[in-house]
A = this chain, B = another copy of it.
Amino acid sequence: MQAAQDLFSRSGFESASVSEICQLAGISKGAFYHHFPSKQSVFMELLAEWLRGLDKALEDLRSNQPEVPQSLIQMAEILPAIIKAAEGRLPIFLEFWVHATRDPAVWETAIAPYRKYKEFFIQMMEDGISGGSIPEMDKETAALAVMSMAIGLLLQGIVDPAGSDWAGVGRESIRLLTDGLTRRST
């Protein structure tokens, strides 16, 4: 996996071959295919590893903070770390997504983390609505509003890291949305 990560960064996802990964890792192709069915499965494992930290941070925030609006505001604080972690990885991500758009099976795997986060936020909004910290509304809509804000902040932070103070913008943006969520007009 370290060899694959190094090669993907250096040559790109498309150019890196399983042979080269094996050569760099000093293992046989047989050993490789014993662990991974394909090159994209190594990538998915790397992606899962990168996301593990995010998953942990999100779960911690939820379990330590029963109030949903406060959870959202605290989540803004982890945005800069995610932007930082994605540094230099944008080309590999984009290339993997190009690859994924060409194969429906790979595509489904590629968007699985998105579906998982969507479920996480729907559950969170359901908790907020049933607990009374968020007024009655469609939980999926509330979840997607929060995810839209987070995805838009992350994407801009990754594409234009020096363009703004993303820690400050993230904090204020999430606060504006949380204000809207908690005091929404009906």
Contact = CB atoms under 8 A, between A and B. Distances in A.
Interface residues of A, number: 46
Given A94-B94, A152-B149, A176 B177 contact: yes
B94 A90 contact: no
Interface of A: 12, 90-91, 94-95, 97-98, 101-102, 111, 114, 118, 137-138, 140-142, 144-145, 147-153, 155-156, 159-160, 163-164, 168-169, 172-173, 175-181, 183-185
Contacts of A155: 151-152, 155
A152 B90 CA distance: 17
B148 A153 contact: yes
Contacts of A142: 176
A-B pairs, 3 with minimum CB distance:
A148-B152, A180-B180, A152-B152
A4 to B, nearest CB: 18
Given A145-B176, A149-B149, A176-B180, 15 more contacts: A12-B98, A114-B159, A118-B163, A144-B169, A145-B149, A148-B149, A148-B173, A150-B152, A151-B151, A151-B152, A151-B156, A152-B152, A176-B184, A177-B177, A179-B185
Contacts of A152: 147-153, 155
A150 B177 CA distance: 13
Residue among A91, A175, A176, A181 with the highest chain B CB neighbour number at 10 A: A176
